[in-house]
Structure 1
Amino acid sequence: MNLKFKNKKITGILTVLPENEIKFEDEIDNYAFSKSQSMKLKLIMGYDKRRVVTEGTTISDLCVFGLNHLFENDLLDKNDIDAMVLVSQSPDYFIPSTSHVIHGRLDLKKDMVCLDTSQACSGYPIGIMQAFDLLEQEEINKVVVLNADIYSQKVSKQDRGSRPLTGDGASITIVENDSSNKTIYGSINTNGKGAEALIIPAGGFKMPSSEKTAELTTDSKGNTRSLDHLVMKGDDVFNFVQKEVPPMIENILNKAGKKKEDIDYYMFHQPNKFMLKKLADKMGIPYEKMPHNVVENFGNANSVSTPTNITFNLGEQLTKESMLICLAGFGAGLSWSSLLLEMGDLDFCNMIDYKN
C-alpha cells in the first residue's frame, strides 16, 4: 500500500544501547560447529560484538533512560509531548501497555495519546508513519516514536543462526509538523502467510509457556532450542527479502519521480552483512550508500536497527545538513515497509549507553 504525507519532519533521533557487550568468540563453544566453521560464519555474516541487556532490564527501562537524557539536556520538554507511539514485540507486561508504564514513570501530562504497536523489523518506518497520521490532529504538534526490543532474552544460547546477531536496544525519534510543504512517500506491505518464518511459538495465549514448551530439541542444522525461543527460517527470510524489497524500493522511487542515484543513503534494517550486501547487489546500489555495519558492532535489535544505522553512520552529518534518505524495514509478519524523505538539520542525532 502506497502512502503519502505532507508538512511532517523528523527533528531528532537518539539510540540507547546497553553497555553490556558480548563478543562472538565468547559464545563460540555453544554452537554445534567447529571453530574454523564458526569463524568463517563470522566473516560472511558480519558477526563480531553485540549489545544485550542484563537480566531484569526491560524496554521501559531503556526508553525512560533515553527520555530522561533528553529532558536533562534540554533537548526535549516533557510538556511538549502530545503523543507517544511505542513499537515493540518485547512488552514489559501483557497488561498494561508498556507506553502507559513509560508515561507513568516519567509523570507525563494526562492530556496526551499513548499507543503500543506490535511490529518487528519493519517497525521503524511504520512507527514514523503512525506519528505522521497523529500529527493530522489539530492538538497534536509533537510525537515521540519509541522503538525498543530485547530479543536476546528469547534466543537460545545454542542457536548459531540467531544468537550471534541478536542485540537489544531502544531509540527515540521526535516527529513534528513542518511548513515546508515537502512530500514524504511511504509504503507498507504484509504477507501473513509467511508468519512462521520468524516466530516464538510459545508464550502467548495460543500456546502458554510450560515445562513442555521449555524442553530443548535439536534441529537438522544443529541448532538447539525450545518452543519458548525465537525460531528463524533463515532461507525463507533471505528469499523473502531478496524478492520483495527491491520492487518496493523501485515503486516508492517511481512514486516520488526519483532515480536510484538521486538518493543520498539507503538506511535499511540490519539483519546481517551478507543479506544487505546481496540486496545492494540486486538493486544496483553502491555499498557505501547502503551501510551494513550495525550487526558487527551492536547486533540486530529488531526495528531499533534502523535508527541505530542512522545515528551510527550519519549522526553528526544529519545535524548539519539535509539529505534525501530512503528508509526500509523487513522481517517478521511477514512485513516490509519504506519511507522516502528529506532528513537533516536535526536537533540531535546520536547514541548513548544505557547504565543500570
Structure 2
Amino acid sequence: MIFEYRNKKITGLLTIVPKNIRTFDEEMENYKADKARNKRLKMVMGYEQHRMFDDDVCVSDLAVYGMEYMFREGWLKKEEIDALVLVTQSPDYFMPATSNVIHGRLGLSEDVFCMDINQGCAGFLVGIMQAFSLLDQPTVNKVVLINADVLSRKVSKADRNSYPLIGDAASITVLESCAEENLVQGEICMDGTRSDMLIIPAGGFRRPSSCETAIMHEDEEGNSRSLDNLVMGGREVFYFVQTEVPKLIEKLFGRIHMTKDEIDWWMFHQPNKFMVDKLAEALEVPYEKMPSNIVTYFGNASGVTIPTNVAYNIGEKLEKEEYKICFAGFGVGLTWGAMVMDMGKMDFCRLIEW
C-alpha cells in the first residue's frame, strides 16, 4: 500500500521506560548454552540490559501516567484532544478497548474518538497512518497516538532466543494539522502467510490458555517455553528483514525521486543491534545515521522501539532543529513499511523513567 499525507506534522513525543533494569550477565544462568557462547551472543547482538515494568503495570497505567505528565508540563490540554489512537499487542482486557479505559481514567470529552489497533513492530507507522487519516476530518485538529506494550511477561525467561532482547515501554505522540504542506510519503506491506514466524500460540479464542498450554517444552537449542509464551523463528525473521526491508526502501525512494543522501536520520525498529547494523550495510547508510543502541540499553518493546530511538538519540536535536527522517518498522504480522517526513522544532521530545 502506498500512502501520502499533507498539512500534517508531529509536534510532540514522550517515551516512558521502566526504571527496573536487568542485565544479560545476571540472567545468563537461565540459559543452557555455555557462558562463552552466551558472551559471544551478547557481543554480536548488542545485549547489555533490558527494562521491564512490574507485573501489575498495564498499558492503560502507562498511558495515563504519560498523559498526566504532559498535562502537568503544559505540553497538552485535555480539551485539545480530538482523537486517541492506541497501538498495542498487550491490552488491559479482551473487552472493552483499552483506549476507552484510558479515555475514562483521564476524564476526556465524549466527543473524543477512541480506537485500539493490534499491531507490533511496525505499529508506530500504522499508528501515524491512522492518526494522519483522522486529521483529514474537518473537526479533528489534534490526535494523540499511544504505542505501548508490556510483553516481557509473555516471554519465557529460559528462552535465549527472545528473553535477552525483550523490553517494556510506552510512547505518546501528538500529531496535528498544520498550514505547511509538509509532505509525508511511504509504503507498507503485509504477508499473513508468514504470520506464525512471530506468535504467542495460546491465550486467544483459537487456543485458550490452560494447564496444558502452560507446560514448558525444550527445543533442540535448549530453550524452554510454553504455548503461552512468544515463539520467534529467529533465522526466518532475520532473512525476511534483510530481504524485504531494503527492497521496499529502494522502491519507495525510486518512486518519490529522493536519494538516500537527503535523509538526515534513519529511525528504524530495533529487534537487535546486529540486525539494524546489517540493514545499514545493505542500504549503504552510515552507522551514525541509523542508531542501533535501543536493545542494548532498553530492550525491544516492539513498535515502541522507534519512538524510543527518536527520543533517546535525537530528542534534544528535534526540539531545536528540523530534519528529514526515514522511519521503518518490520516484524510481527508479517508487516513491514517505511515513511519519509520532515520532523523537528517540536514542542517536546523527551524520555522519562517510571
Match of 2:75 in 1: 75
Q: Read off the aligned partner of 2:353 and give its amino acid letter.
A: D
What is the Cα deviation at residue 182 of structure 1?
2.5
| SS at 1:327 equivalent | strand
Distance 1:149 1:55 in 2: 12
Q: Report % sequence identity.
A: 51
Q: Read off the aligned partner of 2:143 and give its amino acid letter.
A: V
Match of 2:345 in 1: 345
Match of 1:90 in 2: 90
| SS at 1:338 equivalent | strand
Distance 1:308 1:262 in 2: 23
Match of 1:209 in 2: 209
What is the Cα deviation at residue 254 of structure 1?
2.0
Structure 1: 4+ residue segments shifted above 4 A: none
What is the Cα deviation at residue 104 of structure 1?
0.6
Match of 1:193 in 2: 193
Match of 1:176 in 2: 176
| SS at 1:145 equivalent | strand
Q: Read off the aligned partner of 1:255 and give its amino acid letter.
A: R
Match of 1:38 in 2: 38
| SS at 2:214 equivalent | coil
Distance 1:254 1:111 in 2: 41
Report if the CA contact (8 A) 2:9-2:182 is conserved: no
| SS at 2:27 equivalent | helix
Distance 1:57 1:245 in 2: 34
Report if the CA contact (8 A) 1:252-1:340 is conserved: no
| SS at 1:253 equivalent | helix
What is the Cα deviation at residue 253 of structure 1?
1.5
Ranges in structure 1 where 5+ consecutive residues have no aligned partner: none
Q: Read off the aligned partner of 1:311 and give its amino acid letter.
A: A
Distance 2:4 2:53 in 1: 37
What is the Cα deviation at residue 26 of structure 1?
1.5
Distance 2:116 2:316 in 1: 30
Q: Write the mapping of 1:167-316 to structure 2, written as runs, cut at 5 A.
A: 167-316=167-316
What is the Cα deviation at residue 121 of structure 1?
0.1
Deviations 1:303-344 (CA, angstroms, capped at 9, x unpaired): 000000000000000000000000010000000111100000
Equivalent residues, number: 354
Distance 2:283 2:339 in 1: 17
Distance 2:178 2:216 in 1: 53
What is the Cα deviation at residue 252 of structure 1?
1.9
Q: Read off the aligned partner of 1:222 and give its amino acid letter.
A: G
Match of 2:55 in 1: 55
| SS at 2:143 equivalent | strand
Distance 1:66 1:221 in 2: 40
Report if the CA contact (8 A) 1:84-1:144 is conserved: yes
Q: Read off the aligned partner of 2:108 and give its amino acid letter.
A: L
What is the Cα deviation at residue 35 of structure 1?
1.2
Distance 1:251 1:77 in 2: 40
Q: Read off the aligned partner of 1:350 and give its amino acid letter.
A: R
| SS at 2:92 equivalent | coil
| SS at 2:128 equivalent | helix
Distance 1:51 1:157 in 2: 14
TM-score for the superposition, normalised by structure 1: 0.99
| SS at 2:248 equivalent | helix
What is the Cα deviation at residue 221 of structure 1?
1.1
Report if the CA contact (8 A) 1:185-1:255 is conserved: no
Q: Read off the aligned partner of 1:305 and give its amino acid letter.
A: T
Matched, 1:141 2:141: yes
Deviations 1:279-299 (CA, angstroms, capped at 9, x unpaired): 111111111111000000000
Match of 1:166 in 2: 166
What is the Cα deviation at residue 230 of structure 1?
0.1
Distance 1:13 1:182 in 2: 18
Distance 2:63 2:22 in 1: 22
Deviations 1:1-43 (CA, angstroms, capped at 9, x unpaired): 1111110100011000111111111211000111111111100
User: What is the CA RMSD across the aligned residues, in angstroms?
Assistant: 0.7
Ranges in structure 2 where 5+ consecutive residues have no aligned partner: none
Report if the CA contact (8 A) 2:7-2:177 is conserved: yes
| SS at 1:315 equivalent | helix
What is the Cα deviation at residue 247 of structure 1?
1.4
Distance 1:255 1:182 in 2: 18
Report if the CA contact (8 A) 1:271-1:300 is conserved: yes
What is the Cα deviation at residue 255 of structure 1?
2.6
Q: Read off the aligned partner of 1:34 and give its amino acid letter.
A: D
